[in-house]
Amino acid sequence: MFTALQHVLREKSRVLGRGRGIASGFSSSSASACQRLAGKVAVITGGASGIGKATAFEFVRNGAKVIIADVQDDLGRAVAAELGGPDAACYTHCDVSDESQVAAAVDLAVDRHGRLDVMFNNAGIGGDAAAPGPLASLDLGAFDRVMAVNARGALAGVKHAARVMVPRRRGSIVCTASTAGVLGTAGIAAYGVSKAAVVAVVRAAAAELGRSGVRVNAVSPHAVPTPLVMGTVARWFPGRSDEEMRRIVENMGEMEGTVLEAEDVARAALYLASDEAKYVNGHNLLVDGGYTVSKTPNMPAAP
């Protein structure tokens, strides 16, 4: 009975704690005493929208100071302001295909806060290479652009994060990959190749940097209704309404009654960034509801 009473009191405390949000305009799902990135400094590329934006909110909610690095200047500044302004977040323009801009984003974090604890290499594009059509018609110029942002940009982020993390013998680098980099997906060969390269970068970097106290991991979501994914779906299904396209993306999931959202991926990135994952290195965390664990075989139609 005493054990049951303890459980009831803990549950009451947990429920009451839900209403104690951070006073910066957004609510917190956890009490301030449980902030998992308290005092840490993070750079998030592609942080102005989609998964990056959701992760910026999750990181700040958990005590981090965030540098939002993106090419969407108006959106990036608005997100930084919504997160609480300079005390919690700031924005910097960063095209990750330009290594010097990635280096500058890392240097900004160090100049403002004295260090970098977390690097989330999240920026990515689908690009013209994600347009529907056979592989034989793939525009290699478009392929090069996707690789420059998705794969080379992630590598630049790993490189410059390591530059400031290794001397301190600590840090967490997280890269956004994709289920498209695990399973072949028709129609998006360039995107799939770029994300498979991200996983390879993570494994190579983890093997080297782990001995310096720096962890490198990937998070691979399945289809999430972000601007990037919605833009790709619009190319495949022209003329569909936003609501119809969102339903198409949501129906790509594997779990009945559950829809994958950007916030789910953000919480996975939070785990990998936090000290809770202190011995997780070189891992590709799939957030896909089981999409990649099996494939239905081609079977003859039932009689």
Amino acid at 217: N
Q: What is the DSSP letter of 22?
A: B
* Per-residue pLDDT band at 297 (split at 50, 70, 90): low
Per residue in 76-94, pLDDT (tens digit) is: 999 999 999 998 999 999 9
Q: Report percent pLDDT > 90 for the chain.
A: 63
- Separation CA 251–CA 245 (nearest Å): 10
What per-residue confidence (pLDDT) applies to 129?
54
The pLDDT value given to residue 99: 98
Output phi, psi for 7, to 5 deg. -60, -45
Taking the alpha carbons at both ends of the chain, their separation in whole angstroms is 59
pLDDT of residue 283: 98
Instruction: Residue 67: name the closest of 50, 82, 45, 49 by CA.
Output: 45
**CB 247, CB 232: distance < 8 Å:** no
> What's the whole-number average pLDDT of the chain?
85
Residue 41 near residue 116, CB atoms below 8 Å: yes
Whether 100 shows a pLDDT value over 50: the answer reads: yes
State the catalytic residues: 191
User: Could you report the per-residue pLDDT of 156-206, keeping only the tens digit for each?
Assistant: 999 999 999 999 999 999 999 999 999 987 778 899 999 999 999 999 999
| Integer Cα distance of 102 and 67 in angstroms | 12
Pick the closest to residue 192 from 136, 130, 140 (CA basis).
130
Return d(Cα 228, Cα 52) in angstroms, integer: 11
Q: What is the 3-state secondary structure (H, E, C) of 23-72?
A: CCCECCCCCHHHCCCCCCEEEEECCCCHHHHHHHHHHHHCCCEEEEEECC
The strand pairing partners of 173, in sequence order, are 119, 216
Residue ranges of E strands in 41-193: 41-45, 65-70, 89-93, 118-121, 171-176
pLDDT value at residue 78: 98
Residue 246 has pLDDT above 90, yes or no: no
Q: Read off the amino acid at residue 297.
A: P
Per-residue pLDDT, 12? 37
For the cut 60, the answer to whether the pLDDT of residue 225 exceeds it is yes
Give the residue with greater pLDDT, 53 vs 139. Answer: 53
Question: Which architecture, in CATH terms, is 41-287?
Answer: 3-Layer(aba) Sandwich (3.40)
Say yes or no to pLDDT of 135 above 90.
no
